[in-house]
Amino acid sequence: MSEVRVAGVGLTPFGNTPERTGRDLFAEASAAAFDDGDVPRTDVEGVFYGNFMGELAEHQGHQGPLMAEAAGVHAPATRYEAACASSGAAVREAVKRIRTGENDVLLVGGAERMTNLGTAGATEALAIAADDLWEVRSGMTFPGAYALMAQAYFREFGGDHEDLAHIAVKNHENALPNEKAQYQRAITVEDVIEAPTVSTPLGLYDSCPISDGASTVVLVSDEYARDHGLDAPVAITGTGQGGDRMALQDREYLARSPAARIAGEEAYADAGCSPEDVDVAEVHDCFTIAEVLAIEALDLEPVGEGITAARDGRTIADGDRPINLSGGLKAKGHPVGATGASQIVELTQLLRGDHVNSEFVSDATVGVAHNAGGTVASALVHVLEVVE
């Protein structure tokens, strides 16, 4: 079984660029990844592309071949859709393909154009990742759904909005030097507490923004990297996927993420490592409570204790185990189809030592990426390691 190396990574700035099309964004990210990895486009054997709302935002389906063309690649292309975990799913499938020996070079990534829809339009488009019959038609939105999860967590384990505020403050602080981040400005706990309420207990600063952007990763087999003399010291050594019931009312738990736990356990076992080995993580913090649920599901914090991890300094940049050094979805942005692959980009750079925040994890050798779809009905987890 071939080891899967990350040869090159590319990322557009995430932000509010309604004039840019998805193909334009993906072309930019792809060019950056090819330049970073020094891999010729002619060697690419397939494109694995994540996108969620292309039909609604751009009236464009069948985006795989379109994005391959935008990237300058002549190879079969497939679009993967798993809501906000779309490109995480694309990464997993590409890893499996290279491991089997079927392919040696794959372009993997995702893109989303969202801001052209406006706030109301984007909110409506995002809502289709929930159960239309039993949630959407009743007026449920994702801020409302995550607010219910936060309320359930507070009832079961304790904590309050101020605890969540420390997560938002941390992630904005991490995004300050990240030129790709949508929000490069500091906020305070008071800012979070006093911000307009979106859905109790969550406010404006507990929520990720509507974003445009694209991310790409060039994955290669160990044999290809060796034969072509590539400097690709980071490998994806573990991959896992978990699922849960679609609608919240059908779940056994509201204050936990079983799908993420399943995916994490599978990824750790696949990589032959444990949560104790993890030095840094990028997790899916679409809302501040989501970061708490993620780090507990991944066993990076004990269940019931993740709520105080940022407040107590355990997950800040110079803490025991930094979480979301990129700024996370909260501050870096969340162009949903691009998010999963963008986490691979950020972790690769952090582990290689060429990320703007690498100084905080200069000795790191193991990173974990956690990408969730909807209210975590879908979860993808990947382990990255420095393998030299």
User: pLDDT tens for residues 273-328?
Assistant: 999 999 999 999 999 999 999 999 999 999 999 999 999 999 999 999 999 999 99
Residues 6+ apart with CB under 8 A from 208: 285, 286, 287, 328, 329, 330, 333, 334
Percent of all residues in the chain with a pLDDT value above 90, rounded to a whole number:
98
User: Would you say the pTM of this structure is higher than 0.85?
Assistant: yes
pLDDT over 80 (residue 209): yes
The full length of the chain comes to 388
pLDDT score, position 148: 97
Kindly list the catalytic residues: 84, 334
132-138 average pLDDT score? 91
pLDDT score, position 330: 98
The label of the residue with tokens 């994806």 reads: 236
For residues 211 and 175, is the Cβ–Cβ distance under 8 A?
no
Domains of the chain by residue range: 4-118+209-386
pLDDT over 80 (residue 81): yes
Q: What is the DSSP string of 191-240?
A: HHHHSPEEETTEEGGGBPPP-BEEEEEEEEEHHHHHHTT----EEEEEEE
For residues 170 and 225, is the Cβ–Cβ distance under 8 A?
no
Q: How many CB atoms lie within 10 A of CB 304?
A: 16
355-360 average pLDDT score? 98
Q: What is the mean pLDDT of the chain?
A: 97
Q: What is the rounded CA–CA span in Å between residue 33 and residue 39?
A: 9
For residues 376 and 239, is the Cβ–Cβ distance under 8 A?
no
pLDDT score, position 2: 77
pLDDT over 80 (residue 388): no
CATH of 4-118+209-386, one of 3.40.47.10, 3.40.50.800, 1.10.1200.10, 3.40.50.300: 3.40.47.10
pLDDT over 80 (residue 1): no
